[in-house]
Structure 1
Amino acid sequence: MTKPRRKSRRQPAQLAANDNGARQAVEAFTFGDPEPVLSRATMMDMLECYDNGRWYEPPLSRDGLARAFKASPHHSSAIILKRNMLAASFVPSPMLGRSAFAAMVLDYLVFGDCYVQEIRNRLGGVLRLEHSLAKYTRRGLETGRFWWVPNHKDEVAFDLGAVHQLRAADINQEIYGVPEYLSALQSALLNENATLFRRRYFENGSHAGYILYATGEFADGDVDKMREALKRSKGPGNFRNLFVHSPNGKENGIKLLPIAQVGANDEFLGIKNTTRDDVLAAHRVPPQLLGIVPANAGGFGDVTKATDAFFELEIEPLQAVFLELNEMAGLEVVRFRERP
């Protein structure tokens, strides 16, 4: 830390105002509140799966992942596309309906794991499987024990062995799953921040920052009037023109010095396009399947071939993940129709 400087007793610096030798002190003031660009969220901080004596806590905030699901249109659209294609190829059964399966798929793609609960009859037989929200389901310390934790006071323990978990493998722990798109989550959040910043940019009215540099001679109260006029130019009714009259001022007595890039629109488009590509690469979804307009005349190629390749490389491996539920339940509860 540097020591604070003592206040100088010297008079303020003087600046020549016009050709007649009159001198006037420089006056400076700020206007316009700073606009935050990035949020202070620390959702991406990785933690160990510590236990509280009854269950393990997830390594990532489930609430944060749920909110990030809607951060970027390409992020949520890619997940919904996979969910819809899996649900369309699923064959419903009395044990597991299509809606419950679609909810399982959405949990698996967003959180990296999903859960189903066995509903049993009085004799202990399995009647059906119901989806249990991954956001509120926790894995207990006891083998085969799971907990329902909607908040910090109404937790309920499931029956031992009544809940089955499907999870995406993680290199750091083997208790909970971690979503595959984690490496592109920062890009999805930056995409959202760029859009929010651009909205605030237009709503605020003071788009590019600037310095109003005045050296002319002004009558008493003129500076205060200019200050008030600039303050009123923000918010609703912005983009107003400001007229300043200085009868005795010299040329270039009032200057407007921009301190921000006027071409911010190009930077905005660059951020949006780059973060979109990152998200699509993490989800491995062809752009033509998400309705993205190509920037070149050649387009993205045949959409049918792209769909076939996407189904073979992404949807079929996901189908294999959910077929594991048959081994866990000891029954054929998941089955998919063959693609024509």
Structure 2
Amino acid sequence: MSKRARRMNRRESAAASQGAIVAANDNRSEAVEAFTFGDPEPVLSRATMLDMLECWHNQRWYEPPVSLDGLARAFRASPHHSSAIILKRNMLAASLEPTAWMSRKAFAGLVQDYLVMGNAYVQEVRNRLGDVMRLDHCLAKYTRRGVTPGSFWWVPGYRNEVEFDAGTIHQLMAPDINQEIYGLPEYLSALQSALLNENATLFRRRYFENGSHAGYILYATGQFANIDVDAMRNALKKAKGPGNFRNMFVHSPEGKESGIKIIPIAEVGAKDEFLGIKNTTRDDVLAAHRVPPQLLGIIPANAGGFGDPAKALDSFFELEILPLQSVFLELNDQLGFEAVRFGQRVRAAE
């Protein structure tokens, strides 16, 4: 009984399209093929769509244009990134003169939120007569601006949101060129450098933890007996794992010069690349924060150093800390009384 012919699927048709007869000199499978990947493109290029949109809302509060949880996790991505922010926070907190409404502890948290998130919120705690007793720091990571003008929401998690009493929350925000609902931190242009700095450190840690430190080719061209080759092979295998920093002794009687060569393939290049990435990303982060390197304990690479640290501190205070003080003095205008007050600083170079 004859069977009907079966229709070939797409894979079989593609294979058959090459022809049933293969030439004897057909070496296409062994030929060298070359191709290029094209120009590099940023992975986050679609994020520029946020520049053309407003902050979306869920009929109750607006969502920030960037992930506040991501900014919080990136705070400790690079030691220079977090150290620069902590330096500004400490200097601002030290220059504060505590009042009956604002404590130095609440102000330090307010400053840190402003520098990390680009937003800072204070909550009025009132007595039964409606007078302000004190100002509490409200975490910017979980505070949202409401759709209704003057309203704010506390959103710590799913289905745990609570609306604040009207008129009790005051917001300080770093200006953004795309929207006026939330502020954005000034260091966003250097955030990729801070993350690259972290990636380089993590890659280096994994390199040392996995125990594979050979990083070279043992190229032997002399006349060796099989037992000698096996001995060298076993010695190389034992160089992996705990105690891998070992030296290997090879004795070759009547061996010729250059019979054994060690060709490094990874260690030197990886070391230079690691140091270059660390130094370049550090400079990017410090440029974004505008912090002199000598104030962060960075050791200069040249003999000349970074100059007088006292003069650098005075310039930094005048160019960075004083403008930040003016930002927090805006709270007095919103509250109607002097809750934030700064002391007079004596120049360190005098």
User: Shorter-normalised TM-score: what interval?
Assistant: 0.7 to 0.9
Give the match for residue 191 of structure 2. Answer: 185
Q: CA deviation at 1:264?
A: 2.0
Aligned-residue offset at 1:102 = 0.7
Higher mean C-alpha displacement, 194-203 vs 101-110: 194-203
CA distance in 1, matches of 2:248, 2:295: 49
Deviation (angstroms), 1:73: 1.0
**Residue 242 of structure 2: aligned partner:** 236
Match of 1:206 in 2: 212
Alignment of 1:14-33 (within 5 A): none
Label 1:242 to 1:297 Cα distance change in 2 as closer, same or farther (>3 A). Answer: closer
Judged with a 3 Å threshold, the aligned counterparts in structure 2 of structure 1 residues 243 and 302 are, in CA distance, closer, same or farther, namely: closer
Cα deviation digits, residues 272-327 of structure 1 (max 9, x gap): 11111111111111111111111111111111111111111000000000000011
Matched residues in 1 for 2:155 and 2:224: separation? 70
Taking the TM superposition and a 5 Å limit, the aligned residue runs for 1:302-313 are 302-313=308-319
C-alpha distance after superposition, 1:137-179 (max 9, x if no partner): 1111111111111111211110111100000001111111111
Q: 1:122 aligns with which of 94, 103, 128?
A: 128
The structure showing larger relative contact order (alpha-carbon pairs under 8 Å, at least 6 residues apart) is: 1
- Residues 1:67 and 1:45: Cα distance change in structure 2 (over 3 Å): farther
Q: 1:148 aligns with which of 128, 145, 154?
A: 154
| 2:168 equivalent in structure 1 | 162
1:63 alignment counterpart: 69
SS at match of 1:143: coil
Contact 1:45 1:60 in 2 (8 A): no
Tell me, what secondary structure is at the counterpart of 1:338?
A: coil
Matching residue of 1:266: 272
2: CA distance, partners of 1:262 / 1:282: 31
**1-side partners of 2:47 and 2:215: how far apart?**
34
Closer/same/farther in 2, CA of residues 197 and 54 from structure 1, 3 Å limit: same
- Preserved CA contact (<8 Å) 2:92 2:325: yes
**Unaligned segments of structure 1, at least 5 residues:** 11-40, 245-250
Report the counterpart of residue 145 of structure 2 in structure 1: 139
Report SS of the residue matched to 1:131.
strand
Work out whether 1:318 is the aligned partner of 2:324. yes
C-alpha separation in 2, matches of 1:146 and 1:280: 34
SS in structure 2 opposite 1:130?
strand
Unaligned runs of 5+ in 2: 1-13, 25-42, 251-256
Specify the code of the residue in structure 1 equivalent to 2:81.
Answer: H
Structure of greater Rg: 2
Please state which structure has a larger fraction of its residues in helix.
Answer: 2
| 1:123 Cα offset (Å) | 2.2
- Kept in 2: contact 1:108–1:167 (CA 8 A): yes
Q: Which amino acid aligns with 1:333?
A: A
2:294 to 288, 294, 316: 288
Change (3 A) 1:159 1:208: farther
SS of 1:115's equivalent?
A: strand
Aligned-residue offset at 1:237: 3.5
Contact 1:144–1:161, Cα closer than 8 Å, also in 2: yes
Shift of 1:60: 1.2
Compute the displacement of 1:87 (Å). Answer: 0.6
CA distance in 2, matches of 1:237, 1:51: 57
1:113 deviation in Å?
Answer: 0.9
> Larger deviation: 198-207 or 94-103?
198-207
Measured on the aligned residues, the alpha-carbon RMSD in Å equals 3.3
Contact 2:213–2:244 at 8 Å: present in 1 too?
no
Q: 1:270 corresponds to which letter in structure 2?
A: G
Q: Which residue of 1 is the match for residue 303 of structure 2? A: 297
Residues 230, 161 of structure 1: CA spacing in aligned structure 2 closer, same or farther, 3 A cutoff?
farther
Q: Work out the CA distance in 2 between the residues paired with 1:72 and 1:292.
A: 14
* Paired position in structure 2 for 1:53: 59
The whole-number CA distance in structure 1 between the counterparts of 2:76 and 2:295 is 19
Q: Within 1, Cα distance between the matches of 2:162 and 2:232?
A: 65
CA contact (8 A) 2:111 2:120 kept: yes
Could you tell me the percent identity over the aligned residues? 72
Q: TM-score, normalised by structure 1?
A: 0.76
